[in-house]
Amino acid sequence: MQVSDSELLAGVAVTAAWVTVLTTMTALNGLSIPRASDMHLACLWIYPIKSTRLLALEQAEVESRGLRHDRRWMLVDANGRFITQRKHGVLTQVVATIDGQELRVNASGMPELVLSAPPADGERITVQVWNDSVSALAAKGGASDWFSKVLGMATQVVLMDESAKRAIDPAYALAGEQVSFADGFPLLLIGEGSLNDLNTRISQPVDMRHFRPNLVIAGSDPYAEDTWRRIRIGEIEFELVKKCSRCVLTTRNPDTGELDAQQEPLRTLSTYRREEEGVMFGQNLIARGKGLLQVGMPVTVIE
């Protein structure tokens, strides 16, 4: 059926009028319904060794435990307990990059370390991540000595291979779903709008690196992610299962490793983002599919 120019223009006018009405009603009710074209994936970050410096990617494969290569390696102390920037600021200076199946690790004053996956039948040690115990592969080739020198303490390097199991809290996940050495969930998302709002409240603005997300979303309103339950990025759906409770690590300068003397940005966040479970900023996600993510992909709120 042919549509005349006058009929087409009339239809556009009516549609525009309804958009105006809906937008006004949405604003009056304090809601935010951004168009899919407004929102996109702005940053894609992984942390190949838990609690070391981020690695920015243009694309990454989504796997069941999170993004490929994200926090599959970890450092533990002599008792097998995980080591993080919460106590060891020097880890902000450790940079790990991906080279095929290996990691190339660098830190000031140290020779480059090449980390290769140990054989699946290699030595395993039981390590602790919060309240979880994991049977992980012990790294070989001087990796532990290298990190012991960086940290100034006895350190062991371990790998989570496919045989290593660590279940997500069943209160938020389906039976059998696994997580890497991340604190608790496979992925963390934050909207740029939320950071921009925080920076209007704080004397010294901070950047997103303080919060160590995997996915940074552009084009959403401040804290819009708090209300999302399910989103799609490209062709992959994600379930937002729990707000992220923030800790002292957010106060560590990602460039220098120093803790902020004023305890910012955590102090300001605590004045308006405190809930029963803590100071919340960002949303934890579980992927409901696998595939490729690329920076610039559109983000659509499903629920």
* pLDDT over 70 (residue 184): yes
Residue 11 lies in a domain: no
15-29, 87-101, 158-172, 289-303, range with the lowest pLDDT: 15-29
Tell me what the mean pLDDT of segment 78-86 comes to: 97
Contact 128, 80 (CB under 8 A): yes
Smallest CA-to-CA distance from 170 within 179, 183, 159 is with: 179
* pLDDT over 90 (residue 11): no
Tell me what the mean pLDDT of segment 79-85 comes to: 98
Tell me what the mean pLDDT of segment 163-183 comes to: 96
Who has greater pLDDT, 18 or 216? 216
Q: Tell me the percentage of the chain whose pLDDT exceeds 90.
A: 87
* pLDDT over 50 (residue 237): yes
Q: Tell me the percentage of the chain whose pLDDT exceeds 70.
A: 88
Residue 8 lies in a domain: no
* pLDDT over 90 (residue 190): yes
Residue 163 lies in a domain: yes
Q: Which residues contact 252 (CB under 8 A, 6 or more apart)?
A: 85, 89, 92, 210, 258, 259, 260
Residue 93 lies in a domain: yes
Residue 218 lies in a domain: yes
Q: Which two tokens stand for residue 64?
A: 């069941």
Mean pLDDT rounded to a whole number for the chain: 90
Residue 12 lies in a domain: no
* pLDDT over 50 (residue 59): yes
Residue 19 lies in a domain: no
Our count of domains for the chain comes to 1
92: number of CA atoms within 13 Å, CB side? 20
The whole-number pLDDT of residue 38 equals 87
The whole-number pLDDT of residue 37 equals 52
Residue 3 lies in a domain: no
Who has greater pLDDT, 126 or 4? 126
Q: Report the distance separating Cα 222 and Cα 226, nearest Å.
A: 9
Instruction: Say which CATH number the domain at 66 has.
Output: 2.40.33.20
Residue ranges making up the domain that contains 224: 34-301
Q: What are the angstrom distances between the C-alpha of 81 and each of 69, 159, 203?
A: 21, 14, 36
